[in-house]
Structure 1
Amino acid sequence: MDLSHLGTPIGPMVRIHGGFANRMYRLDTDQGSFAVKELNLVDRRWDYRVEDVFRFERAAFAAGIPMPEPISAGHDTLVHRWVEGETVPEAPVSAEFAFEIGEILARVHALDVAWPQTPIEEPTSWDWPELAARAAATGQPWADELASHVETFLAIAHFVDTCERPGPVVLTHRDVQPWNLLAREGRPVVLDWELSGMLDLSGELGSTALSLAKGPGLDGIKPDIFRSVLDGYVAGGAVLPPSGPSWFVYMIGGWLGHTRWNILRCLAGVEVGSGPDLALSQESARNGVRGLPDLFSRLPELETLLV
């Protein structure tokens, strides 16, 4: 990758481990510090709209959205100004932090940015029996659990395919999760915009609010934190969509696709040259096989958060 426009390096580029889809590096030069993201183009679930996302990011940054400054975008590389901050743990955030996230989403959704009409959603997959058989044949450590939940995964796929989305559809980040946030002086900074695109509003709000109101599992959900995100959204001048299961279908569908993608990486058993490490794919596959059935079974309980 040609990074000469970033200045003269003052040290080697350092890999920052932990990315779920791509690979991140820090580069320090005489012009400052930069986050250099190497996009995974080997086995992506859908194509990146690099130019569209970069234009959206530039508009958001110009509007004062707290985020790293977008510097450049190429076919396989994204560059942002490096931002120092604290990682946000997968645990309920403070009510103030959640409220500000809601306000940020309202501001993002109010941006006037042109976007192509063609959707980027990946089709729902129904090959769970075949995946379970392949997992057993290749001795995957989570094979028995997957086999026991095949009918549940098929029911999840049916839910994702048939759940009605009431709208409106907004241009948004689509992935405001703890691992895509930093806390700087206690206030949020939104990272990793490359999944940006059009999304049903209820799916964006439900995914964001739930992720900020819980820990790794579903036993510690804080309803007041969930509501704080929504209160911040309304305080930002926006209107909430109707209540219903659509608030959680995007989160469930996204996790379903992410789990299947990591299962395929594990079945191949080869360390791919880009994207997450094989060990991280094993962890993600295991977490999905165990966590998705639990999340789906609690859908009626989650809907009570909207009352």
Structure 2
Amino acid sequence: MDLSQLGTPTGPMTRVHGGYANRMYRLDTELGSFAVKELNVLDRRYAYRAQDVFRFERAAFAAGIPMPEPIAADDRTLVHRWVEGEKVPEEPVAPSYAFEIGEILARLHALDVTWTHDAGEEAIPRDWSELAQKAVATGQPWAGELSAQVETFEAIADFVDTCERPGPVVLTHKDIQPWNLLAREGRPVVLDWELSGLLDLSGELGSTALSISQEEPAVFRAVLDGYVAGGGKLPPPGPSWFVFMVGGWLGHTRWNVMRCLAGVEAGAGPELALSQESAGNGVRGLPGLFRRLPELEALLS
């Protein structure tokens, strides 16, 4: 992408570390500050619909959704206006913050935006035994834990594959997690829209509420209350509320496991050290989340 449209730089473009899938830079010019994201096109888990997502972002921004202004997009690069704010820690947010997230989702789901692609769910990974053997052979630090949990990962794959999604399907962000949020004067700013697409409503609400509440019941409920206050209607309770989060973490874990097994620093996406951290977190954390699903369903009552 030609970045000259952003104005004359006032200094070098600087790397902003910490991205789990892509690489981010800050560019300061005479026209302001911009977030320039270099998309990982080497080993993406599924195709990225740049122009569809950009159109959705523009509609959301025009509707007043608190987010960085989308400036430009192509198949390799995204540009947004830089937004200052405080990082959201991975701990329960304030109920008022959670309530506003629910309202934001209701407003987002009410937008009339044409989407030309179906949900396009990725294939459910089933090769956990083989991956565990390769992890042991290559001396991965989490190899023993993965080997001990192969049957659990197979059961997780079965759950993701067979869990019934009640609908409706909505066009939405799909990835509202603490690391994709800022707090500005105590209120949310929603970042990182590139995974946007169609998703079963219960999966979006469950993933969002669980991630920002960290299983704190009052905060979890505040997201749902905000959604209803914003004009949304809650789907029926059930395991479908958590299947998207479980399936997403399953796919993300396998993706990072594969990067670790390759053992080389890729030219795009997260650094190898971050993939090691993500793979270890998934191997250790996902089985525990899966075992707690009956407890999580109690949050819906």
Aligned counterpart for 1:259 among listed residues 253, 256, 265 = 253
State the alpha-carbon separation in 1 of the partners of residues 31 and 122 from structure 2.
39
Partner of 1:177 in structure 2? Answer: 177
State the alpha-carbon separation in 2 of the partners of residues 75 and 45 from structure 1.
15
Listed as ranges, the gaps of 5+ residues in structure 1 are: 215-220
Q: Look up the SS of the partner of 2:28 in the other structure.
A: strand
State the alpha-carbon separation in 2 of the partners of residues 9 and 37 from structure 1.
17
Cα offsets for 1:179-213 (capped at 9, x unmatched): 00000000000000000000000000000000111
Structure 2 counterpart of 1:227, which letter?
Answer: R
State the alpha-carbon separation in 1 of the partners of residues 132 and 117 from structure 2.
36
Partner of 1:287 in structure 2? Answer: 281
Partner of 1:268 in structure 2? Answer: 262
Q: Look up the SS of the partner of 2:57 in the other structure.
A: helix
State the alpha-carbon separation in 1 of the partners of residues 49 and 192 from structure 2.
13
Structure 2 counterpart of 1:173, which letter?
Answer: H
The Cα of 1:49 is off from its aligned counterpart by: 0.2
State the alpha-carbon separation in 1 of the partners of residues 180 and 285 from structure 2.
20
The Cα of 1:119 is off from its aligned counterpart by: 2.8
**Residue 187 in structure 1 maps to residue 187 in structure 2:** yes
Partner of 1:116 in structure 2? Answer: 116
Partner of 2:59 in structure 1? Answer: 59
Partner of 1:218 in structure 2? Answer: none
Question: 2:119·2:199 contact (CA, 8 Å) conserved in 1?
Answer: no
Structure 2 counterpart of 1:241, which letter?
Answer: P
Q: How does 1:84-163 map to 2 (within 5 A)?
A: 84-163=84-163
Aligned counterpart for 1:234 among listed residues 228, 238, 247 = 228
State the alpha-carbon separation in 2 of the partners of residues 173 and 281 from structure 1.
23
Question: 2:118·2:198 contact (CA, 8 Å) conserved in 1?
Answer: no
Partner of 1:77 in structure 2? Answer: 77
Listed as ranges, the gaps of 5+ residues in structure 2 are: none
Q: Look up the SS of the partner of 1:28 in the other structure.
A: strand
Partner of 1:278 in structure 2? Answer: 272
Partner of 2:48 in structure 1? Answer: 48
Partner of 2:213 in structure 1? Answer: 213
Structure 2 counterpart of 1:262, which letter?
Answer: N
The Cα of 1:74 is off from its aligned counterpart by: 1.2
Cα offsets for 1:48-103 (capped at 9, x unmatched): 00000000000000000000000000120000000000000000000000000000
Cα offsets for 1:118-160 (capped at 9, x unmatched): 3331110100000000000000000000000000000000000
Structure 1 counterpart of 2:228, which letter?
Answer: V
State the alpha-carbon separation in 2 of the partners of residues 158 and 182 from structure 1.
35
The Cα of 1:117 is off from its aligned counterpart by: 3.5
Using structure 1 for the length normalisation, give the TM-score: 0.97
State the alpha-carbon separation in 2 of the partners of residues 188 and 84 from structure 1.
12
Q: Look up the SS of the partner of 1:141 in the other structure.
A: coil
**Residue 5 in structure 1 maps to residue 10 in structure 2:** no
Structure 2 counterpart of 1:296, which letter?
Answer: F
- Which has the higher mean CA deviation after the structures are superposed, 194-203 or 108-117? 108-117
Structure 1 counterpart of 2:261, which letter?
Answer: L
State the alpha-carbon separation in 2 of the partners of residues 119 and 210 from structure 1.
22
| Displacement over 6 Å in runs of 4+ | none
Structure 2 counterpart of 1:168, which letter?
Answer: P
State the alpha-carbon separation in 2 of the partners of residues 11 and 178 from structure 1.
30
Partner of 1:202 in structure 2? Answer: 202
State the alpha-carbon separation in 2 of the partners of residues 285 and 17 from structure 1.
18
Partner of 1:30 in structure 2? Answer: 30
Partner of 1:217 in structure 2? Answer: none
Structure 1 counterpart of 2:125, which letter?
Answer: S
Partner of 1:164 in structure 2? Answer: 164
Structure 2 counterpart of 1:253, which letter?
Answer: G
Q: Look up the SS of the partner of 1:257 in the other structure.
A: helix
State the alpha-carbon separation in 2 of the partners of residues 256 and 74 from structure 1.
28
Q: Look up the SS of the partner of 1:124 in the other structure.
A: coil
